[in-house]
Amino acid sequence: MMNRDQHPTPKATPKGDKFTEEEMQSFRDLGAVLRRIHNRLISEGYTITDDEIIPPSHVSSNGQTNTQKDPKRRLP
């Protein structure tokens, strides 16, 4: 059944649930995609901190992170 905005009507949920099962599955799928992206970046040598993703070239040979931002450098 479609509502007036032509979106499928969500399946009913037990009283108290805030999200439908379909929405919960979408969140799980999104989490899996983000986890794969995170793992791929780590495997490619990126350093991920709380507030930034540092490309491999910004990590020095002694393991120290160069925190100076290069405004011309963007992540691929």
Q: What is the pLDDT of residues 46-57, one digit of tens each?
A: 999 888 999 998
Query: Is 49 a domain residue?
Result: yes
> Where residue 1 falls among pLDDT bands split at 50, 70, 90?
very low
Residue 59 clears pLDDT 70, i.e. is over it: no
User: How far apart are alpha carbons 36 and 20 in whole angstroms?
Assistant: 25
Residue 35: which domain range?
21-58
pLDDT of residue 4: 54
Query: Is 1 a domain residue?
Result: no
Query: Is 50 a domain residue?
Result: yes
The amino acid at 32:
A
Question: Structural domain tally of the chain?
Answer: 1
User: How far apart are alpha carbons 27 and 19 in whole angstroms?
Assistant: 10
CA angle 38, 42, 45 (to 5 degrees): 145
**Lowest-pLDDT range of 20-29, 34-43, 47-56:** 47-56
H/E element, 34: helix 21-43
User: 45 or 65, which is more confident?
Assistant: 45
Query: Is 31 a domain residue?
Result: yes
Query: Is 53 a domain residue?
Result: yes
DSSP label at residue 65: B
Query: Is 29 a domain residue?
Result: yes
